[in-house]
Copies of this chain bind each other. A is one copy, B any other.
Amino acid sequence: MRTTEESTQAIIESANIFFARFGYGKTTMTEIAEYCDMSVGNLYRFFPSKLDLAAKIVDLVTQESVANLRRVSARKYRSSAARVEALVIAELRETFETMENRPTIEEMGRIIMFKRVDVINKGLADTRRVLEEVLQDGIASGEFTIPKPDFAAEMIQAATLKFRYPQLWSRLNLPALEREAKGVVRLLIKGVQTR
């Protein structure tokens, strides 16, 4: 006899396994339900639709990604500028690898992007917060002069769009993308460095 919370967790785990393995489209709600010893009708008492379940998975994947960026940010760097660069490169690598090696996850992300953009925007906002904290540190240390760090973080995020899931718009390989990302980041950093 499971609690509501336990059932919810079991469904999420089951969905995670099936979506990752077979993709969103090929996974049926019936097999997700069966995997946690539940009827498909009962599953709908916990999640109102298949899309909502996928949104939850994408949200969890994104939070995992944000946590990873925080770990990258927490390492030792010689400057806040280097820290910003490390964040952008980390995100480039992670999204590049997702598209290369986890196509089912990437496809699900794309579906969520069209049908549940709020989930994507939340992920972007969380990511942006990590970046903003780094900018704040740079301000505190005197390295950066930024009137509005939240706005600057937003601008940097917009300017580095090309380096998230880059295969969508570029045929460059990862080393070339990293070089380009570093070039863009250097230019942006010069725009916020204390003169």
Contact = CB atoms under 8 A, between A and B. Distances in A.
A180 interface: yes
Chain A interface size band reads 20 to 34
A162 B154 CA distance: 13
Nearest to A148: B183
Given A188-B188, A189-B191, A158 B171 contact: no
A117 B172 CA distance: 12
A184 B159 contact: yes
Given A158-B183, A159-B188, A188-B191, 9 more contacts: A117-B171, A154-B180, A155-B183, A156-B187, A158-B162, A159-B162, A161-B161, A186-B191, A190-B190
A65 interface: no
Contacts of A154: 180, 183
B159 A187 contact: yes
A152 interface: yes
A190 B152 CA distance: 12
Interface string A128-158: 0000000000000000000000011011101
A192 B183 contact: no
Main SS class of interface, A: helix
A135 to B, nearest CB: 12
Q: How many copies does the complex hold?
A: 2
Contacts of A14: none
B192 A180 contact: no
Nearest to A189: B191
B187 A152 contact: yes
Interface string A6-25: 00000000000000000000
Contact of A161 (B117, B162, B190): B162
12 contacts: A154-B183, A155-B183, A155-B187, A158-B162, A158-B183, A159-B160, A159-B187, A159-B188, A161-B161, A188-B188, A188-B191, A190-B192
